[in-house]
Amino acid sequence: MKKELGIIGIGNVGSMLLHKFMELDLVKEENICVANRSFEKLDSLEKKYKALTICKSNEELVQSCDKIMICVEPLNLPRVLKEIKPYLNENKYLMISTSMVAHKDLIKFHNGSITIFMPTLISMVNGGVTIACHNENVKDDEKKFFEELMANFSEVKVMGEEDINLSQNMTASFPGFFAEIMLEFVKSASKKSKNVTDEELEHMLLVSLLGASRLLLEKNMSFEETINRVSTKGGITYEGVKVFEKMLPDVFDAALNASTGRYNVITELASKEAKELL
Q: What is the pLDDT of residues 203-245, one digit of tens each?
A: 999 999 999 999 999 999 999 999 999 998 889 999 999 999 9
- Rounded to an integer, what distance in angstroms lies between the CA atom of residue 33 and that of residue 263? 30
- Rounded to an integer, what distance in angstroms lies between the CA atom of residue 83 and that of residue 140? 28
Known binding positions: 58
Higher per-residue confidence, 42 vs 170: 170
For the segment(s) 174-266, the CATH number from 1.10.3730, 1.10.730, 1.20.1640, 3.40.50 is 1.10.3730
What percentage of the chain reaches a pLDDT higher than 70? 100
The CB-based long-range contact list for 14-18 (8 Å cut-off, 24+ gap) reads 14/69, 14/71, 14/72, 14/97, 15/41, 15/45, 16/119, 16/121, 16/123, 16/124, 17/69, 17/71, 17/97, 17/119, 18/45
Instruction: State the average pLDDT over residues 3-12.
Output: 93
Residue 3 has pLDDT above 80, yes or no: no
For the chain, first and last CA: distance in Å? 31
Residue 197 has pLDDT above 80, yes or no: yes
Q: What is the pLDDT of residues 97-115, one digit of tens each?
A: 999 999 999 999 999 999 9
CB burial of residue 187 (10 Å; 0-12, 13-18, 19+): exposed
Architecture of the domain spanning 5-168: 3-Layer(aba) Sandwich (3.40)
Q: What is the pLDDT of residues 17-62, one digit of tens each?
A: 999 999 999 999 999 999 998 887 788 888 888 899 999 999 999 9
Q: Of 75, 30, 70, give the one whose Cα is nearest residue 50.
A: 30
Known binding positions for NADPH: 58
Q: What is the pLDDT of residues 70-83, one digit of tens each?
A: 999 999 999 999 99
Instruction: State the average pLDDT over residues 182-210.
Output: 94
Residue 198 has pLDDT above 90, yes or no: yes
Please give the mean pLDDT across all residues of the chain.
Answer: 94
pLDDT of residue 1: 59
54, β-bridge pairs = 34
The full set of domain ranges for the chain reads 5-168, 174-266
Q: Of 4, 60, 58, 56, give the one whose Cα is nearest residue 28.
A: 4
The region that residue 89 occupies, defined by phi over 0 for left and psi between -120 and 50 for alpha, beta otherwise, is beta
